[in-house]
Structure 1
Amino acid sequence: MSFTRGIFVVLFSLLVIQINAQRDTTNIKSYADQVMVRANLDTNIESYIFKEGEKGNEKLQVFSINNKTKVSLSVDYRIISATLSFAPKFFSENKDNNLKGNSSYTDFSIKFFPKRLIQTLYYKNVKGFYIENMKENFPDWKDGDPYLQFPNLRVQSFGGSTAYIFNENFSARSIYTQGEWQKKSSGSWVPFLDYDLTIFRDKVAEQDLKETQYKIGANMGYFYNWVLGKNVNISPYLALGLGGKFSTYRDVRGDGSRKNAQYVTLRMEGGLTIGYNTDRFLFGGRMNFSAYTYNQDRDRAVQSNSVYGLLYIGYRFAPPRVVKDTYDKIQKKIPVL
């Protein structure tokens, strides 16, 4: 657990920095003194790749959940942005239980924006998977047949990222959460660390299975915020990363001993955001892509590629007195807020 303790030591050290919550400058307008509520419609739900079989005759299995669209509700005030995500059943693409089984999805994240730092923490809980690439693993399978389901497979993730904005005239918050508005076009290099602890649990033939994975990566990205007039911005970005993945599991098919594995990971992600902003009302959309790969042995590399979209709409308003007073009291005890 020294890895996990080390991460929290780093985060604590970063968050004890004294900050000013609001920063109105000639280039950036802050909405930190406003409460913002925002709703997102998002298609970014992860899949997981596993390798099965003897060396030289392995098969890759892509495990997905039967929820392809999620809804996120966010609340922003001062330097904090909190988001709760879930996958409602009223979307048609989330209903196909007969073929793909029943799935549940919950994701909670919180972001802090102390000066030019961006600190993200999240927790994700997913249960109920099916094998998406059935044709590759079972040649006799055809469209319309039920997918192989794993209703007891549960994935819990605890993680986060720590980013630093090199250019003080660039507002990453105007892209991430719309908590600020950048008045003049500008860009910045953004280095960031991402880290994750994921626990896989399943029950097969009355036997409990568990695998623990640690991931950490160092990334460098470039973000640009192109401001068109007073209300519209277009923001592309691209990031590359190098990291490590460490896995621990029990070999239930062999001698039952505990196995450890380490991999070098490569990552690339990018996207484009288009937004419309006023002092009260905002909306926009985002298209992102990500590519992730690592070598499992000399002859095989595992890859995961995805493209996903997001739509958002939000509204700002003056904070209720009880919210402002409560935040001020907490801030006296925790100055970082």
Structure 2
Amino acid sequence: MVFSFSENETHFGLKHRKIFFVIPFLYAVHGRAQEDSAKIISYEDRVMIRATADTNIESYTFYTEGNQKETVLSINNKIKTSVSVDYRIISATLSFAPKFISSNKYNPLKGNSAYTDFTVRFFPKRLTQTLYYKNVKGFYVENMQDILPGWQKNKDAYIQFPDLRVQTFGGSTAYALNKDFSVKSIYTQGEWQTKSRGSWTPFLDYDYTIFSDTIAGQKSKETQINIGANMGYFYNWVIAGKVNIAPYIAAGLGAKFSSFRDTLEDGTKGMRENTQYLTVRFGSGLHIGYNTDRFLFGGKMIFNANAYSQKKNYTVENSNYFGLVYVGYRFAPPKVVKSNYDKLQKKIPIL
């Protein structure tokens, strides 16, 4: 059985790259509780190092109205590791998919994928500011059995998009309305909340994304700007002083501004397509953690999704769900770290 990319492009009515160019919903919903010695313990005077492993599963779903078949695009990397360093109000995280893990290695049936991101967070009082850069390359069509009858798993190759690359520059701004609630205690573990509390947390998220691909000598590039306004509710249930269980739920609306253009093999550029969409977002999660003044560990389950309609006949969805485990250690800052931070703080008082 022969599968033709060109026939699918015509059937979809848009370039196939356009169909899958959906920005993963940024799940950064953060806040910073105002320090209260009786209700919130702050560890900002210590350096904290955390190591994290998670199942980073990103899927892009396309389906037409009245058609039960879906097309799901995924990356081959299934395990992501992160290393974070926190001090005072700054938290920095580097994440990547190491190739020494078997599920991240090259698979001849699925191809090769690459994943990296770098995130910096600032926690001035109850405000949380997040900035990040994310780079993902190499995708394959996950649900081949729905697309090609007779296709056999672990035997036949998946349709691959090895040159499809997604680069995202983004951020979020959040504010915890309850001064006795610390989102930081359940997100970066930079604080510990001693009493059970909940809080509404409004947040804005925004990103600029570049999608690029090359197929049969034809290059394509799409840029997108996403802006969203969201409201989340977090609850931190503290058990026996050292254990907490913290669920949250969030929803919002946003706008997507997209610009797409093809570049032919001879270098000729096609016509530019500019479109705007209304997006719908949803997120939820659950955190379970154990904390002492020096050691900490725990796990999380997180789900985020967004969707928007195009040309009234199909909807593009993106979902991101994963579980993670982390372990961390806090210690007194080296003199050189403390002195340099103090000098920087004199120049930038907000730090």
TM bucket normalised to smaller: 0.7 to 0.9
1:4 maps to which residue?
Answer: none
2:18 maps to which residue?
Answer: none
Match of 1:277 among 287, 291, 304: 291
Q: Which amino acid aligns with 2:308?
A: Y
After the TM superposition, which residues 119-130 of structure 1 pair with which residues of structure 2 at under 5 Å, given as runs?
Answer: 119-130=129-140
In the alignment, the residues of structure 2 paired with residue 265 and residue 74 of structure 1 have an alpha-carbon distance, to the nearest angstrom, of 31
2:261 maps to which residue?
Answer: 250
Please list the CA deviations of residues 250-286 of structure 1 after superposition, one character each: whole Å capped at 9, or x if unmatched.
2569x92110121111111111100000000000001
Match of 1:294 among 287, 292, 308: 308
2:51 maps to which residue?
Answer: 39
Work out whether residues 22 and 78 of structure 1, in 8 Å CA contact, stay in contact via their aligned partners in 2.
Answer: no
The higher relative CO (CA closer than 8 Å, separation ≥ 6) is in: 2
Q: Quote the offset at 1:184 in angstroms.
A: 0.7
1:132 maps to which residue?
Answer: 142
- Structure 1: stretches of 5+ with no match in the other structure: 1-19
Please list the CA deviations of residues 154-208 of structure 1 after superposition, one character each: whole Å capped at 9, or x if unmatched.
1100001100110000011001100000011101000001111111111122222
The secondary structure found in structure 1 opposite 2:131 is strand
Please list the CA deviations of residues 298-319 of structure 1 after superposition, one character each: whole Å capped at 9, or x if unmatched.
3322233343101010000000
Tell me the TM-score normalised to structure 1 length.
Answer: 0.87
Please list the CA deviations of residues 92-135 of structure 1 after superposition, one character each: whole Å capped at 9, or x if unmatched.
22125211111111110011101110111100111122122222
The secondary structure found in structure 1 opposite 2:108 is helix
Q: Which amino acid aligns with 2:37?
A: T
The secondary structure found in structure 2 opposite 1:298 is coil
In the alignment, the residues of structure 1 paired with residue 318 and residue 215 of structure 2 have an alpha-carbon distance, to the nearest angstrom, of 26
Work out whether residues 21 and 114 of structure 1, in 8 Å CA contact, stay in contact via their aligned partners in 2.
Answer: no
Is 1:217 aligned to 2:217, yes or no? Answer: no
- Structure 2: stretches of 5+ with no match in the other structure: 1-31
In the alignment, the residues of structure 1 paired with residue 69 and residue 213 of structure 2 have an alpha-carbon distance, to the nearest angstrom, of 19
Please list the CA deviations of residues 215-258 of structure 1 after superposition, one character each: whole Å capped at 9, or x if unmatched.
111100000001112101110100011111111102569x9211
Work out whether residues 106 and 113 of structure 2, in 8 Å CA contact, stay in contact via their aligned partners in 1.
Answer: no
Is 1:183 aligned to 2:194, yes or no? Answer: yes
Q: Quote the offset at 1:50 in angstroms.
A: 5.9
In the alignment, the residues of structure 2 paired with residue 137 and residue 212 of structure 1 have an alpha-carbon distance, to the nearest angstrom, of 28
In the alignment, the residues of structure 2 paired with residue 295 and residue 139 of structure 1 have an alpha-carbon distance, to the nearest angstrom, of 28
The secondary structure found in structure 2 opposite 1:331 is helix
In the alignment, the residues of structure 1 paired with residue 33 and residue 253 of structure 2 have an alpha-carbon distance, to the nearest angstrom, of 32
RMSD: 2.4
Work out whether residues 212 and 220 of structure 2, in 8 Å CA contact, stay in contact via their aligned partners in 1.
Answer: yes
Work out whether residues 251 and 259 of structure 1, in 8 Å CA contact, stay in contact via their aligned partners in 2.
Answer: no
Match of 2:341 among 323, 327, 335: 327
**How many residue pairs are counted as aligned between the two chains?**
315
Q: Which amino acid aligns with 1:33?
A: D
Tell me the TM-score normalised to structure 2 length.
Answer: 0.84
Work out whether residues 21 and 32 of structure 1, in 8 Å CA contact, stay in contact via their aligned partners in 2.
Answer: no
